[in-house]
Amino acid sequence: MEELVRKLINSGYLKTPRIIEAFKKIDRADFVPEEFKNQAYVNEPIPIGHGQTISQPLTVAFMLELLQPEEGNKILDVGSGSGWQSALLSEIVGSKGEVYAIELIPELSAFGEKNTAQYGFSNLKFLSGSAEEGLLQKAPFDRIIAAAECEKIPNAWKKQLAVGGRMAVPVRQSIFLIIKNGDNEFTEKEFFGFAFVPFIKKP
C-alpha cells in the first residue's frame, strides 16, 4: 500500500496531507474479495460482485482531491460498494464529522459495512437503498461524492449540498466538480476521460 501511495504522490494525484494519511492508514486489501487480495495494490478497478467494482486508486485519489473533504464535514457517499472510499472519508473527517454511505445493492452495503467494521468508525453509517433523492433527513451536506456514472446530476443532490459545499460526480465519462456558491448558484468544472459503472436507479 505504501508503494501505491508513493506512486500516486509522485504522479501528482495525491497532494493533500490529510488525504495522503488516510490512504496510508486505510488498507485497500481490506476491501477487495478474497480471490483478488493479491491484486489489491494494482492501480486498476477490481470486481466486487453484482457487476460492480472497487474503483481504481488513481480515480479515488483524483476525486478526493477535487472534493477536498475536511475535518468535521458531513458527507454523502453515493454508491459505497466495498466501503473503501467510505472508510477513507471517515478517516479524513474524523470523529466530529459524519459520513452517510448509500448503496442500492443490499449485499454490497453489507459487504462494505463488514469491511469497515475492523476500523471501528463511530462516524460512518451505511444505508441500503436508492440515492437518487439524496438523503433529505440528514441534509445539508458539506460534501457529496458519487462512484457511479450519472446521465445528469440529480437536482436533489444540488439542493442538499450546503452553500460553500463541493460535489464530485461522474457524468458521461467525465468527472464534474460542483461548488455551491448560493441557493441556486453553482460553479462547474469538467474533467474528461474517466470510466465508471453506471448509476442504477431504483426500479
Q: DSSP string of 95-143? A: TT-EEEEEESSHHHHHHHHHHHHTTT-SSEEEEES--TT--GGG--EEE
* Closest residue by Cα to residue 76 from 166, 152, 182: 166
Confidence of residue 202 (pLDDT cuts 50, 70, 90): low
pLDDT at position 194 is 72
* Closest residue by Cα to residue 171 from 56, 76, 63, 45: 63
Query: Which residues are paired to 192 by β-bridges?
Result: 174
Q: Residue written as cell 453489507?
A: 110
pLDDT at position 96 is 97
CB 143 within 8 A of CB 166: yes
Q: Give tens-digit pLDDT for 19-66.
A: 999 999 999 999 999 999 999 999 999 999 998 899 999 999 999 999
CB 77 within 8 A of CB 67: no
The whole-angstrom separation of Cα 173 and Cα 152 is: 11
Confidence of residue 201 (pLDDT cuts 50, 70, 90): low
The number of residues in the chain equals: 203
CB 97 within 8 A of CB 125: no
Rounded to the nearest integer, the mean pLDDT of the chain is: 93
Q: Give tens-digit pLDDT for 125-177.
A: 999 999 989 999 999 999 999 987 888 899 999 999 999 999 999 988 889 99
Locate 98 and state its grid cell. Answer: 459524519
pLDDT at position 196 is 63
Domains of the chain plus CATH, in order, are 2-192 (3.40.50.150)
Q: Residue written as cell 474517466?
A: 194
Verify whether residue 55 is a known catalytic residue. Answer: yes
Catalytic residue (one of 11, 55, 109, 130):
55
Amino acid at 100: Y
% of the chain surpassing 90 pLDDT: 85
pTM: 0.94
